[in-house]
Chain A
């Protein structure tokens, strides 16, 4: 092989190199740093080199730590319930608003406004709305002669769940609406002629055809919900007790208040593993869909 051909073969890699280097620095280095740190007992005042290697100790401690378990449970409860409710409301709204009425575009824009507000601001807004005496909810309840509710005390988790639903339902709404509007019009018309009522169209045609988009939307939203921090930090700071201390918040507190960087890193890795699991599910789903499409193409070719 001459030098020129081997150089030619290297050319693509030369062009790829800058991107690879930036990837390595920006993505892999911090990740590696975190991995490495999770095996060490490490105080923020120490340089990484001064910390001591403790093997899997951080992971084992966490595994047996009831607070960590509680926090994981809260996170799971939070993520599953917000995503479930958001999916129902978001898809429901999309199904309802998928029509050409006057002013619909304005309405659609209004619906996605919450998503555009910074999470910290959302947290503040809701904190004041939930305020025991000054908040709109309790004043409203009082106005109609009902007992006031201790929103951020007794029902803290429910309250943050409501706030998150308020903010993130629009995300599912716009994606579901986009999916709906890209459905084949003629198939829907055919179903009308076949005698399907509005409900039957939704159940037999619209939802099954939207499913690929809905599944990906749901997984994306789930990944996001597991990482939620700001809104809860501002609203409850994880309290009362550990009732709203989601993992992201616990990680941040472990690193700053408890000054245990190694444990925080290990906790991050647990969270990362959980999210990886969801991501892998999503990839598997994509592969199945691709596989089906490929099979379909093969069958058509055979038919010709």
Chain B
């Protein structure tokens, strides 16, 4: 009898295992091209464009490196779960992983052993062009942990401005009596909002949905000279700033210590009472950008990149004469920083079976112009066309909602391969030049915060923030001063000062070998 049970059990187990292993039996045959899987973020396209492009690209890659590329999508609807379980699974079929130090937890994942440490020799041998380019810029230090090893490759040769701000309508601002229709101070939005509220009954002055700290961080950045510490985040917030005005950098916090928080919240309360946003903005899930395009919102909040690549073009088409403009945080006092060079990066999975091949492929898609164009823009003629003056355009009848390529290669784009697009804002160059003139380089990219010790504290702090910031950002408080005091008390109880102290120690240690200015 026992034998029978054992046999059935064994059969069941064998069935389960064989079904599982069948899925991942991939022998590396020297003759056959190696499949390199690259994890990217975004919704997997289903219009066939990507496959068509990959067919051409992979024919080339097979010839160049005897390998093929296969994107593995982490889709937005549940991207956090997807990203984390993909790493957790130890999936050996994943080779390249898109990462970032400011929003994709590159350091944490490197420390947890998700990424393969890359030696200089390996990089020089397998990805020589990438090595040389990053090395020439002196950027490898940005990707090393305490152990001195390189853990990912930075997208350090791609200019983008993901500094946040308000997009607003120049025509309305002018009517609101703002000189030249150009807002130069954060507080001027009150005037703008008041005018919209009064004169455009269909529109919300600023239709905003769910989580958006803009009204607070916009004010704080323009009224202090502190810089946000990108290396530490919790829940969906960056809790720490650095006061870099003294002899040595001092760790501090807008939400915990700044005197400017009270006027900021007083203003959001004023805006809330004015009806700048929906009464129930916290629960609203509409597409506010579309609302602005439809003339139903006077303001939209996002970063420069969005403004120059989408908003100007669409607004000009859908709201002719609207004269879209952007006011960026810190514009009034020049407290604005360049993008960190690890806002996009590519790591090799610690479980990759062919890391060398992965690097070879990466070197090609980053540095071979033909491969690069294929991956990023698709097939010339069907996915894109070049205008007479060399701008990137789409063929007639191309519709973004149906025909987008969506290859989402965000871990190694190169300035020299990026053509101007016809949809780019005509004044893009000016905007960039303007930012170039004032923006500072973020000095703390090489700071490695020891998070192990403060992790529980950070989590608790995240809890307090998620309870108070949503109320503060929309001014949904009776007495701003009292609510701020209450939040700060809870932060203190959660151990905020310990965290400050611990990070300060890391910063002090770092200061011994690095310059903060």
A binds B: no
What is the interface of chain A, defined by CB distance below 8 A to chain B?
A: none
What is the interface of chain B, defined by CB distance below 8 A to chain A?
A: none
